């Protein structure tokens, strides 16, 4: 049991570093733990073979991911109507896929170390960033929710560098500090040189963070009034036909409370009826819209081929339809079945799995005052989506979502926290209208200006500032992450070349 203690410590401490609910109560912010949580595991890796590193990190990673993403079982079983065994099986498959990335990355760092002679503790941050980058895209569209960077949202000076390298640069520093401490503790040659380098990088990071915070200004930029509706409709009632009119009445009542606003925002799929496209002229939603409004709706096109989309509709004052964005990044096994040829049987096992059609482009919704970037559901998890919208001229990021799927778990809190990175990366205000919370207004420094409550019906009003200069990250994207890929590939080629020389 003693030999497993470092694995358990790393898994537990890393889990606690993320925003977490235990017994329905939020834990205090413990993001600082992430800067030290990997040290026990990294010390344990001393003198281990790549195979040993792989299996050790696999166990530690599986323990962490199982604790961090327990809420996925809730979504699949209680709301997705999968059986307990099917829900647990799906969770295990997902955890295994994610853990294989992590274990493979750490084993790769050890292999490269043995082949090149470079310190294992110097290589760890590079391979870690590569696996984070890959996990953002593969498999089935990616799922980087558990990236270490997202532990740091309460430490604003530490994450302002996201406007240079996105979450990957923050994760790199966290792993580098952990590796440097471990290297000192195992008394490896060169440890103090690496520690000095890390100290300089941390000082520069904090200095940059405070510079960004203290120099931030909203002068000479247009102000924009927003109203965010949180209907708090129970998930089991959302698509009951007998409840549709009552749900519409709830949103209409909330709309009537808005006195003055440049934009009203409904949550994802909050309109309780399927809307047929194309909508022309009158939206079909009635002429009771007193202000420009984004409405989350499920839309269908029933011309040559029937298709269903998860959409954000812009309805102008008076009820005129003014544009639509169809969700680009669909949720696998929720909105579509990936790998249809292999997994087509899932439609028979779980008929509630949708077969939605993804949108074709990142289409801005434009009012007379603003260009809006609609991010539906967990699209705010993916840095490239918000970045592409901002490059196209978005003045404001608008996330509409429905986190009722997760119940009273850590998921809604973590979802709001990770969205703060999108605001920082692009230096744009981000507003969130969610069905059950947490609705919020987040400024370009990642500060939560206003925040709602979980599972409460409420209407939030506030003022944001539009636009601003584009950041390095917005303009150039994931240069840092791609740089890490290049470093690892070059070292891999060198290692393979040396391996052939030795054999020769």
Residues with catalytic annotation?
Answer: 268, 327, 377
The closest alpha carbon to 423, from 448, 458, 450, belongs to: 448
Contact 421, 385 (CB under 8 A): no
The closest alpha carbon to 389, from 399, 376, 374, 401, belongs to: 374
Q: Which helix (H) or strand (E) holds 293?
A: strand 293-302
Rounded Cα gap, residues 198 and 204, in angstroms? 10
Packed helices 120-135 and 162-185: angle between N→C axes, nearest 10 degrees: 140
Packed helices 162-185 and 479-503: angle between N→C axes, nearest 10 degrees: 40
State the DSSP string of 432-497.
Answer: EEESSS--EEE-TTS-EEEE--TT--EEEEEEEE---PPPHHHHH-SHHHHHHHHHHHHHHHHHHH
Prior bond of 438 cis (ω within 30°): yes
Neighbour count for residue 245 (Cβ, 10 Å) = 10
Neighbour count for residue 335 (Cβ, 10 Å) = 19
Contact 46, 186 (CB under 8 A): yes
The closest alpha carbon to 418, from 96, 203, 171, belongs to: 171
């Amino acid at each position: 049991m003693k030999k497993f203690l470092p694995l358990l410590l790393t898994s537990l401490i890393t889990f606690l570093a993320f925003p977490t609910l235990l017994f329905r109560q939020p834990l205090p912010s413990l993001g600082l733990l992430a800067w030290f949580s990997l040290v026990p595991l990294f010390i344990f890796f001393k003198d281990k073979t790549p195979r040993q590193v792989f299996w050790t990190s696999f166990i530690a990673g599986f323990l962490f991911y199982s604790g961090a993403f327990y809420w996925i079982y809730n979504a699949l079983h209680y709301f997705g109507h999968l059986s307990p065994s099917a829900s647990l099986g799906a969770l295990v498959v997902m955890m295994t896929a994610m853990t294989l990335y992590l274990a493979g990355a750490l084993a790769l760092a050890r292999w490269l170390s043995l082949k090149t002679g470079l310190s294992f503790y110097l290589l760890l941050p590079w391979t870690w960033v590569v696996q984070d980058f890959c996990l953002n895209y593969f498999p089935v569209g990616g799922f980087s929710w558990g990236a270490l960077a997202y532990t740091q949202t309460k430490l604003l000076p530490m994450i302002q560098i996201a406007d240079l390298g996105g979450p990957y640069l923050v994760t790199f520093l966290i792993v580098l500090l952990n590796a440097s401490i471990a290297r000192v503790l195992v008394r490896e040659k060169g440890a103090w040189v690496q520690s000095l380098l890390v100290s300089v990088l941390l000082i520069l990071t904090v200095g940059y963070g405070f510079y960004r915070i203290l120099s931030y200004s909203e002068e000479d930029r247009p102000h924009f009034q927003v109203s965010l509706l949180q209907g708090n409709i129970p998930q089991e009632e959302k698509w009951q036909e007998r409840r549709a009119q009552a749900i519409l009445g709830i949103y209409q009542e909330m709309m009537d409370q808005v006195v003055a606003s440049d934009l009203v925002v409904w949550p994802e799929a909050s309109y309780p009826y399927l809307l047929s496209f194309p909508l022309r002229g009158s939206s079909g939603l009635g002429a009771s819209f007193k202000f420009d409004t984004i409405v989350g709706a499920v839309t269908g096109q029933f011309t040559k081929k029937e298709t269903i989309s998860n959409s954000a509709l812009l309805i102008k004052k008076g009820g005129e339809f003014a544009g639509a964005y169809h969700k680009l990044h669909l949720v696998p096994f929720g909105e579509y079945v990936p790998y249809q040829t292999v997994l087509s049987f899932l439609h028979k096992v779980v008929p509630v799995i949708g077969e939605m059609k993804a949108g074709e482009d990142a289409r801005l919704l434009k009012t007379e005052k603003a260009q809006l970037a609609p991010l539906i559901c967990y699209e705010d998890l993916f840095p490239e989506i918000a970045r592409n919208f901002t490059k196209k001229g978005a003045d404001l990021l608008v996330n509409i979502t429905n986190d009722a799927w997760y119940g009273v778990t850590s998921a809604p809190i973590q979802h709001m926290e990770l969205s703060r990175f999108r605001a920082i990366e692009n230096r744009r205000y981000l507003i969130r209208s969610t069905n059950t919370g947490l609705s919020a207004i987040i400024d370009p420094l990642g500060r939560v200006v206003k925040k709602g409550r979980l599972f409460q019906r409420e209407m939030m009003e506030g003022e944001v500032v539009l636009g601003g200069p584009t950041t390095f990250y917005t303009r150039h994207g994931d240069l840092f992450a791609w740089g890490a890929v290049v470093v690892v590939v070059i070292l891999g080629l060198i290692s393979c070349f040396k391996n052939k020389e030795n054999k020769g």
